[in-house]
């Protein structure tokens, strides 16, 4: 039986959320669209294929991944946004559940790890931190985080994110990664992930790692309620 095909136009974190939907249907072929989408606000900016594709390809339920060039697909997963936005005010669905329900999959897929990853031993026993410029919370006290976890902390993410974080906490070491598979291996090896709503957080959630999340009061759409996941508007 031929497995279905899927297309996604981003963002990168949303692509990782979408893998739960693909897994819920038993897997299939995955197209990454780096061009215009049917939804004007959906776009993978820059040239992210080589960044995103290795992690998608690593999943055993993925039969292949390539850039989308207009091929017909069974599921255009850009439309999860239409499915989600109409229900957001009722807080019915998380982003990952919206992806799964859009394709008619089993939402329980997201209750357990939906991605696999190699493990980078360099992060074993460490606390991995990623804090992006977007989705910040002025009531989340990073100085308390660093007082408690700073001696074991390493930072991963973009260089500008590290420079911003280092301006406040200069003693944290930096572990850059080339793609999301390398990023996932760093997170897979750690004992705790701490960050805000970002692609790195989505990977940590997809792996069901213990985590602390800085929740944006303006866009609290990354909430997951499970053991090991601590989400804070204030810390």
CA–CA separation, 123 and 193 (whole Å): 11
Total residue count of the chain as it appears in this document: 235
Q: What are the counts of helices (DSSP H) followed by strands (DSSP E) for the chain?
A: 8, 10
Cβ-proximal residues to 173 (8 Å cutoff; 6+ apart), any chain: 153, 154, 155
Q: What is the percent of the chain where pLDDT is above 70?
A: 86
What is the end-to-end Cα distance of the chain in Å, rounded?
Answer: 50
Domain ranges of the chain: 5-111, 121-232
Q: If you average pLDDT over every residue of the chain, what do you get?
A: 89
The arithmetic mean of pLDDT across residues 38-61, rounded, is: 75
The conformation of residue 207, written as its DSSP 8-state character, comes to T
The arithmetic mean of pLDDT across residues 82-106, rounded, is: 74
Q: Which CATH fold topology does 121-232 show?
A: Rossmann fold (3.40.50)
Q: What is the percent of the chain where pLDDT is above 90?
A: 69
Cis? peptide before 11, omega within 30° of 0? yes
pTM of the model: 0.91
- The answer on pLDDT for 233 being more than 90 is no
- The answer on pLDDT for 135 being more than 90 is no
- The answer on pLDDT for 190 being more than 80 is yes
pLDDT band at 41 (very low <50, low <70, confident <90, very high): very low
């Amino acid at each position: 039986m031929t497995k279905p095909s899927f297309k996604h136009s981003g963002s990168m974190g949303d692509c990782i959320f979408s893998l739960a939907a693909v897994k819920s249907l038993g897997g299939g072929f995955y197209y990454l669209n780096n061009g215009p989408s049917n939804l004007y606000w959906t776009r993978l900016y820059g040239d992210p294929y080589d960044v995103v594709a290795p992690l998608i390809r690593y999943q055993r339920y993925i039969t292949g991944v390539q850039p989308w060039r207009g091929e017909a697909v069974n599921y255009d997963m850009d439309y999860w946004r239409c499915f989600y936005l109409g229900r957001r005010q009722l807080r019915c669905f998380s982003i990952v559940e919206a992806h799964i329900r859009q394709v008619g999959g089993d939402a329980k897929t997201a209750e357990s790890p939906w991605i696999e990853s190699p493990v980078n031993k360099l992060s074993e026993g460490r606390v991995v931190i990623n804090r992006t410029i977007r989705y910040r919370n002025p009531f989340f006290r990073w100085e308390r985080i660093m007082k408690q976890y700073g001696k074991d902390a390493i930072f991963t993410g973009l260089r500008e994110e590290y420079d911003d974080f280092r301006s406040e906490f200069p003693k944290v070491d930096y572990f850059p990664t080339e793609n999301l598979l390398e990023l996932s291996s760093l997170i897979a090896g750690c004992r705790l992930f701490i960050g805000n709503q970002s692609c790195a957080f989505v990977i940590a959630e997809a792996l069901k790692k213990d985590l602390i999340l800085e929740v944006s009061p303006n866009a609290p759409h990354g909430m997951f309620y499970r053991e090991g996941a601590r989400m804070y508007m204030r810390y």
